[in-house]
Structure 1
């Protein structure tokens, strides 16, 4: 079996914990790994709510329903199998996955077309998205405390809905099993190597479903178990949080925006014990973005200044670690244009 990624497991659910210590642990994990397991006790997001989100039959909706909701340049809607290519420089075909992106909801109503099959669950999806938003604000606050930013609410304030629209997306994902695809054993992947575009991502997974790998500091791929040691008896698998490009920008590369991918690990000899790629894989990702007009200037933190002043280099392995843009929206549009070549090509012709 494969040697798995050694990612810390942190509990942020209790109000009686030492907040400063939890914040320190989060920051150190974000610096060293860019990925953090958040223990899922059900206190921040009830387990039943997560289960209900996985029970949605969105991907079983008739094709014509999904096609009416095809993804647009606002990054909302349905993307078909192999429509997105996350690593266009190295993939011969698009990702082996389907996805549906939900943007903002207002008073429980989606501000985009959604398949009729799930229309009765609209308010449920909105409520789940709100819980994810609240949890991301909490983690942003803890990161501000751990970095001793002045004020520690710096990150949180940048993500407040009241300050303007953002690129935040709730994404449902379906990956077919290897046995039902035409994937090449050597080349093809379910999601190409990439870093995430926003501030942070919260990922919900189901036990036994393999595929996620991260690029480690020694430039090797390591699988990320759904159930790391010590979590098998928890109410649900831990929520996997990873740092995105924008938190890395804000901290001059101190917080690590780690490259990752989703593969057919059975072909590569990298299966984790108890997991398989011979069955469908489902996941739910909440991509947390700051207000779109927010400038990406380095945060007021002595630790960030010292890191930059010591001549630290951008984290190797992430082609987007170098600062290229000034605002959150500019970065998002740059990344989307690279991933959805056909979408932008078609629109340019109109």
Structure 2
């Protein structure tokens, strides 16, 4: 029997108290959530345009991308094998390239960008703003469901004077076709990891498989781009996943679920119908972070207070009980593990 992820699909247009309850339950049980019916502020056309701009980034001449190489502020371009998301087990870095946008101020990126996409700078800014607004809505609903109001969403309001400590990242990714990237049967396109921030938005294209999550029973299951019931939606539902910081804030109640991107499913019956793995794979992620000095103390919620992670739940959610003083310190720890050589070079 094929492994299944059973990730719930939540309609954001429903009664907000009910949506909040569904989001909290999904964050606790799965750590991943499909969302649909986002309203007028985030349209399928916006997402289509973002993928068009993504292709323009990766089609830029190599010398332009190298001029924008990633720095220790987590902004810029990374090439093949530059990033190692699972340094404990990966023999070689991830089979992908990526471009990270940090904050924009008055429509201007605070980092070098390829000349080939400079004409789209304001559109990148608009897309990042829409992502941040949607994240804050999700964070508000999660707080509402836990009975802590705007605790989470207010921690993600960043005044302009603190933009340099604003760690949210709009990331464009391209995984080349497996046929153009020689690899062994043990290699993965992106190593197993949890996300470093509070919540992540993930946008994917129809027909491009590869994402898997680690279930509570320690088995891998594919995450369909278009789960049953969404095949006729104008664009695939956005995938939300809980990051490490929300796991800290909730003492492990919310799952910062480990996930990876594979060349082919580890079992033949894990394939998702209509979603091959043999072509290039594009995705867009928005990693939402609070201001760097934010303390990661458990929120004053009875549900959090009464929760105790035990046994396999602790193993499946490795950052639930690790204590870090601030969001910035946690991010620095994770980035150093991922880009060890980059940080060594900057010493």
Same fold by TM-score, threshold 0.5 exceeded? yes
Aligned counterparts of 1:63 and 1:268: Cα–Cα separation in 2: 36
State how far apart, in whole Å, the 2-side matches of 1:295 and 1:106 are.
25
Tell me the residue number matched to 1:328.
327
1:56-71 alignment runs, 5 A limit: 56=53, 57-71=56-70
Change (3 A) 1:245 1:285: same
Counterpart CA distance in 2 for 1:184 and 1:49 is: 37
The counterpart of 2:26, out of the listed 11, 29, 40, is 29
Distance in structure 1 (CA, Å) of the matches to 2:211 and 2:241: 12
Given that residues 40 and 237 in structure 1 are in contact (C-alpha distance below 8 angstroms), is that contact kept between their aligned partners in structure 2? no
Aligned to 1:28, what secondary structure does the other structure show? helix
Aligned residues between the structures = 340
Identify the residue that residue 7 of structure 1 maps to in structure 2: 7
SS of aligned partner of 2:256 = coil
Alignment partners' CA distance in 2, 1:30 and 1:224: 16
Residue 99 of structure 1 is matched in structure 2 by 98
Task: Report if aligned partners of 1:4, 1:225 keep a CA contact under 8 Å in 2.
Answer: no
Quote the Cα distance in structure 2 between the aligned partners of 1:41 and 1:74.
Answer: 31
Q: Which moves more between the two structures, 58-67 or 3-12?
A: 3-12
Give 1:4 deviation, angstroms.
2.5
Change (3 A) 1:199 1:173: same
CA distance, structure 1, for counterparts of residue 324 and residue 87 of structure 2: 21
Contact 1:175/1:282 (<8 A) preserved: yes
Contact 1:41 1:235 in 2 (8 A): no
Measured after TM superposition, the shift of residue 346 of structure 1 is 1.6
- SS of the aligned residue for 1:29 comes to helix
TM-score (norm 2): 0.95
- 1:137 and 1:126 mapped to 2: Cα distance? 17
Is 1:266–1:276's contact at 8 Å kept on the other side of the alignment?
A: no
| CA apart distance, 1:323 | 1.7
Structure 2 partner of 1:20:
17
Equivalent-residue separation in structure 1 for 2:58 and 2:346 (angstroms): 26
Aligned runs of 1:228-307 on 2, under 5 Å? 228-265=227-264, 268-269=267-268, 270-307=270-307
1:307 partner SS: coil
Q: Any stretches of 5+ residues in structure 2 without a counterpart?
A: none
CA distance in 1, matches of 2:84, 2:241: 20
Output the CA distance in 1 between the equivalents of 2:38 and 2:153: 23
Per-residue Cα deviation, 1:95-140 (whole angstroms, up to 9, x for no partner): 0000000000011100000000100000000000000000011001
Q: Partner of 2:346: helix, strand, or coil?
A: helix
CA deviation map 1:150-199 (0-9, x unaligned): xx0100111001283321000000001111111112x1111100000000
- 1:37-77 Cα offsets, whole Å, 9 max, x none, are 00155634111111001001100100000000000000000
Q: Which runs of 4+ in 1 moved over 4 A?
A: 311-314
Question: In the alignment, does 2:341 pair up with 1:342?
Answer: yes
Deviations 1:4-61 (A, max 9, x none): 311000011x2xx321111000000000000000015563411111100100110010
The answer as to 2:62 corresponding to 1:52 is no
